[in-house]
Structure 1
Amino acid sequence: MASEKPQVMVTCTAPVNIAVIKYWGKRDEALILPINSSLSVTLHQDQLKTTTTAAISKDFTEDRIWLNGREEDVRQPRLQPLLLCLSARKGTAGDGDALPLSLSYKVHVASVNNFPTAAGLASSAAGYACLAYTLAQVYGVEGDLSEVARRGSGSACRSLYGGFVEWQMGKQADGTDSIAQQVAPEWHWPQLRVLVLVVSAEKKLTGSTVGMQTSVETSALLKFRAEAVVPARMTEMTRYIKERDFHGFAQLTMKDSNQFHATCLDTFPPISYLNDTSRRIIQLVHRFNAHHGQTKVAYTFDAGPNAVIFTLDDTVAEFVAAVRHSFPPTANGDKFLKGLQVIPSLLSDELKAALAMEPTPGGVQYIIATQVGPGPQVLDDPHVHLLGPDGLPQRVA
């Protein structure tokens, strides 16, 4: 028999964030407490987002969750701590004995990403931030959700805010001071643009959780980075963002990305998230900057081969043309660029000569053009719910 109409149903979206000072390695695996602080840029949800619907009903017989159309085990290790953490929070919500809803109600959750999952594009950060935020709306839990989101995926706490976000590593053993805070809002630097160069949408061979654990155990460089390098870089990066200093921001972003991947190579056995196309993109960026005699473009790579490029609005068209020249699309050329509209630009012969790169057709599958964006949003339109009146998935967004 179909369930009654759910007691409460809420749909929210949450953004991807891209770290410019990287988090890699935990000092506490259970609580997901990092060995160093980190700083990220929240990308706009018009281009990259997770959408999550959560519903509770007295008629649901068990907790259930569907991710990208497929039902997952609700008891999975990364999900349970988040749900338990939220249960503890919802148990203290409300005034006196008046809890927002019966704690005995089961929950159904459906979540979809509009971008490749597990390919190094921070899908877990957006996913767990969205889950924590949506469930908090359902259960009436208020206040900072850093600890809740962090228990699913560490970097998810940064996706709870728009703009530029710091995740403070904290010092307390219980993790209560390991929280995310906004450094600057999404409208702070309107000229900043972001290009996601999708090299591969395949699931990465070494997951972030396993990779971090191995690095913490075996990399001397990682320990040095966390203790001696990152603290000063956090201060520097915060200053560059507040002053809208693109040169400083770009240079430090690239240096920190390089060092993060160096710690992966310093891990034993070594981990390599970059591929040949990733390295050619790095080369392209440096030659592009050298041609202009200034730092106009910056790259960063998370735990995957896909590049995230930072630049200013007046450079976007030329750099997109440089990417298209170096990695010409092999098919669907009209779909090579997604997201924000970019007016095509012609490359000068001087720049083509400066790039001095043999084209690699199909090396970059497509580009997503986006900008800095806001934090999680509640969607008021009931037509966007991913769950139907029976509490089961009704569509994939």
Structure 2
Amino acid sequence: MITEQFVYKSSISQQSGSITCSAPSNIALVKYWGKRGEQLPANPSLSFTLQHCKTITKLDYSPKTSSDTFSFDLFFDGKPKDDFKPKIEQFFQRILTYCPYLTSFHFTINTQNTFPHSSGIASSASGMAALSFCIMQLEKLLNPSIVDEFLYQKASFLARLGSGSACRSIKDSVVVWGRHQEVFQSSDLYGVPLNTPLHEVFKNYQDTILLVDKGEKQVSSTVGHNLMHNHPYAETRFFQAHQNLSALKLCLQNGNVQEFIKIVESEALTLHAMMMTSMPYFILMKPNTLHIINAIWQFRETTQIPVCFTLDAGANVHMLYPEKDKEVVLQFINSEIVGYCQNGHYICDEIGFGAQRLA
């Protein structure tokens, strides 16, 4: 079904230029697991936008005579990346109805990540968000009457069609994707800022990413999402996500860190429980993932420092904690946790603000 509000209907001028944008990764606190239709979520999710783990994409464009097909070159870290071109081609095909000008230009896409490519951090969210934001900057050049609110909304809409979670990397610090009765203007089509006051304790919240396994996942997220279609616990899980998002929204407003910890850790374990109880079943956690979780629990009980963990669809652990506790937590990581990380690697990040155009 076509979403008419996002179909580009203005003229297409022949011009050349260059646009550079960045977009960060994000970490879901309330997870979405399961898709329907064309990249639509089976349940709403809520995420923290990150600040430092981001993709920077430079989009050079020049007019071409034929407008029948897509024409683009793709470079990653300055080197041709032909094996990724089919994914971009698929993305362009999905969004062509909304961005018909894509076939009027030849594009050179230069992209790079601020985090190591082999770090085990999924770059699809930041990558598709950065490219979508570049495309919308081009659209604004073609049609200067576009207002910023529409630009951000359509950028999120486009990013979703490239990678579902990418729609949460476009704007603001706390983003909800998926319809939820308590979130104003929430939608399955794009992410929206939570738009409620964030309690002081959650401002500058820290996310230290413990890189347990940098290898490729045994089961792709796409396959995992599809296994929710006939999952015996799917409907209960979707209901739980709505409840947890309501409760987490309240925590973020009133600063109830203890309740925040319970919800976030439960969500992480529930995500992996869905994987372990699907058919076929699979486990993405590694033994060191469990060692780290138990060490975090022990540290929290001993010190009363409100550090908690969350997981994405993989083995790596995100440690979340207030900025004021950063020094003590990093000492704990370096003395007791780093041995569980592959090659001792971890990345320090914090809550961020979304995509931006760079000079």
- Give the TM-score taking structure 2 as reference length: 0.81
Gaps of 5+ in 1: 1-5, 92-100, 329-359, 381-397
Q: Percent identity?
A: 25
Q: Distance in 2 between matches of 1:36 and 1:116?
A: 31
1:22 lines up with 2:35 in the alignment:
no
1:304 lines up with 2:314 in the alignment:
yes
1:330-369 equivalences in 2 (<5 Å): 360=339, 363=342, 365-369=344-348
Pick closer, same or farther for the CA change 1:83–1:363 going to 2, 3 Å. Answer: closer
Q: Is the 8 A contact 2:214 2:342 kept in 1?
A: no
- Deviation, structure 1 residue 325: 1.9
Structure 1's consecutive aligned runs of 4 or more residues displaced over 6 angstroms after TM superposition are: 185-188
1:374 lines up with 2:322 in the alignment:
no
Q: Which amino acid aligns with 1:212?
A: H
1:182 lines up with 2:193 in the alignment:
yes
1:32 matched to which residue of 2?
Answer: 39
- Deviation, structure 1 residue 364: 6.3
1:48 matched to which residue of 2?
Answer: 53
Gaps of 5+ in 2: 1-14
- Deviation, structure 1 residue 103: 5.4
- Deviation, structure 1 residue 362: 5.4
1:10 lines up with 2:19 in the alignment:
yes
Q: Is the 8 A contact 1:118 1:124 kept in 2?
A: no
1:199 lines up with 2:212 in the alignment:
yes
Q: Is the 8 A contact 2:177 2:192 kept in 1?
A: yes
Cα deviation per residue 1:267-299 (whole Å; 9 max; x = unaligned)?
A: 12222111011111110111111113x461110
- The partner residue of 1:317 within 309, 323, 327 is 327
Alignment: residue pair count: 324
Q: Distance in 2 between matches of 1:274 and 1:318?
A: 26
1:210 lines up with 2:223 in the alignment:
yes
Q: Is the 8 A contact 2:75 2:110 kept in 1?
A: yes
- The partner residue of 1:221 within 224, 230, 233 is 233
1:246 matched to which residue of 2?
Answer: 257
- Deviation, structure 1 residue 219: 2.5
Q: Is the 8 A contact 1:34 1:169 kept in 2?
A: no
Q: Which amino acid aligns with 2:324?
A: D
Q: Which amino acid aligns with 2:177?
A: W
Pick closer, same or farther for the CA change 1:22–1:117 going to 2, 3 Å. Answer: farther
Q: Is the 8 A contact 1:33 1:169 kept in 2?
A: no
Instruction: Give secondary structure in 2 for the equivalent of 1:127.
Output: helix
Q: Is the 8 A contact 1:277 1:363 kept in 2?
A: no
1:257 matched to which residue of 2?
Answer: 268
Q: Distance in 2 between matches of 1:186 and 1:11?
A: 30
Question: Could you say which structure has the higher helix fraction?
Answer: 2
Cα deviation per residue 1:118-137 (whole Å; 9 max; x = unaligned)?
A: 86534111110111001111
1:45-124 equivalences in 2 (<5 Å): 47-58=52-63, 62-68=71-77, 69-72=79-82, 76=86, 78-91=87-100, 104-117=104-117, 121-124=121-124
Q: Distance in 2 between matches of 1:41 and 1:151?
A: 20
Q: Distance in 2 between matches of 1:176 and 1:368?
A: 32
Q: Distance in 2 between matches of 1:18 and 1:255?
A: 15
- Deviation, structure 1 residue 7: 0.9
Q: Distance in 2 between matches of 1:12 and 1:259?
A: 35
Q: Distance in 1 between matches of 2:24 and 2:221?
A: 19
Q: Distance in 2 between matches of 1:187 and 1:132?
A: 31
Q: Root-mean-square deviation (CA), in Å? A: 2.8
- Deviation, structure 1 residue 255: 0.6
Q: Which amino acid aligns with 1:323?
A: I
Q: Distance in 2 between matches of 1:119 and 1:217?
A: 31
1:345 matched to which residue of 2?
Answer: none
Q: Is the 8 A contact 1:162 1:186 kept in 2?
A: no
Pick closer, same or farther for the CA change 1:178–1:59 going to 2, 3 Å. Answer: closer
Q: Is the 8 A contact 1:12 1:378 kept in 2?
A: yes
1:291 lines up with 2:296 in the alignment:
no
Q: Which amino acid aligns with 2:325?
A: T
Q: Distance in 2 between matches of 1:363 and 1:204?
A: 15
Q: Is the 8 A contact 1:60 1:107 kept in 2?
A: no
Q: Distance in 2 between matches of 1:264 and 1:280?
A: 20
Q: Is the 8 A contact 1:81 1:151 kept in 2?
A: no
Q: Distance in 2 between matches of 1:13 and 1:239?
A: 30
1:117-196 equivalences in 2 (<5 Å): 117=117, 121-140=121-140, 142=146, 143=150, 144=153, 145-169=155-179, 177-184=188-195, 189-196=202-209
Cα deviation per residue 1:11-42 (whole Å; 9 max; x = unaligned)?
A: 100011000000111022xx101110000000
